[in-house]
Amino acid sequence: MKIIKYVESMIVLLLFEGLFISSVFSQDKHSYITKLGTNLFYREVHDANRTVLGMNEIRSVTEGMDGLTVTFYFTANLSQVTKPLKLLSFTNSTENNSYVDLFYNAGTFTVRRKYNPGSEYYYDYHLYDPMFTIDSGAVMWEVHLFFTGFSFWIETRDTRKSVNNRWHAPLFIGIDSPRFHIMNGFLTRSPLAKLVFGDPNPSTTFTMPEEIGIYEFKYSELRSTLNNEFSKDN
């Protein structure tokens, strides 16, 4: 049963990714900056690793907006990362009972969706698009994660460079699943909806400096913008 559910999920994922990527994504445009919407939360941090951000801490989401963007930085020597490095968890409870986790993994991202909150059973969606360059020495990366109940758009930035320093990827799963719908809790600022930053047991020295932020967006507008701007001459 678990294998069948996994195969079905992958078929649906590939179908929707194919429809989206055919119009948006032919090859990465490293100069493209995805515009952020209205800011709902901002905090300067020394190290956000282990920070818990409740959605009741952000400002009210504008009516009609159906997506949020979380922005953060992390610093690590990626050549020394020997196991997936957890960057973010989505939960309605505690980190151990998360629904969805985002990992740095082998030069890109893995998104892990639990079958139940905190369950040992999960689906891993590993991106094949490169999202990082792996060099010796610690490097600070900026991550913008646009998320809805059914999709992610991810942008990373190498802070050492000023041009052609961004990587992008769409992913047609979101933080909802057929069995659980938690996006509404994030949009309505439920005190139960939380983001947990960082990894309690990283395989190398790891910090999340600078700042964390939350922004709002509308999925249809983001998709239209990407079709018109990201795809132009691409």
**Strand partners for 155:** 144, 168
Least confident of 14-18, 155-159, 204-208, 209-213: 14-18
pLDDT band at 13 (very low <50, low <70, confident <90, very high): very low
pLDDT at 178: 86
Nearest Cα residue to 70 out of 100, 93, 94, 96: 100
Q: How far apart are CA 146 and CA 142, in angstroms?
A: 13
Residue 180: the pLDDT is 87
Q: 205 falls in which pLDDT band (50, 70, 90)? A: very high
- Determine the pLDDT at residue 179: 84
Cα four-point dihedral sign 60, 63, 67, 69: negative
Number of domains observed in the structure of the chain: 1
Ranking 12-26, 56-70, 99-113 by mean pLDDT, the lowest is 12-26
- 137 vs 8 pLDDT, higher one: 137
Averaged pLDDT for residues 75-102: 97
CATH code assigned at 54: 2.60.120.200
Average pLDDT of span 138-160: 98
Q: Which has more pLDDT, 27 or 80?
A: 80
Predicted structure pTM score: 0.89
Q: Which of 5-14, 85-94, 96-105, 185-194 has the lowest mean pLDDT?
A: 5-14
CA distances from 69 to 21, 35, 72, 151 (A): 20, 10, 10, 12
Q: Which two tokens stand for residue 53?
A: 């951000």
Q: What is the pLDDT of residue 29?
A: 92
Helices (H), 42-100: none
Range of the domain at 158: 2-230
> Using 50, 70 and 90 to split pLDDT, how confident is the model at 82?
very high
Report d(CA 89, CA 198) in Å as an integer. 8
To the nearest whole number, what is the mean pLDDT of the chain?
90
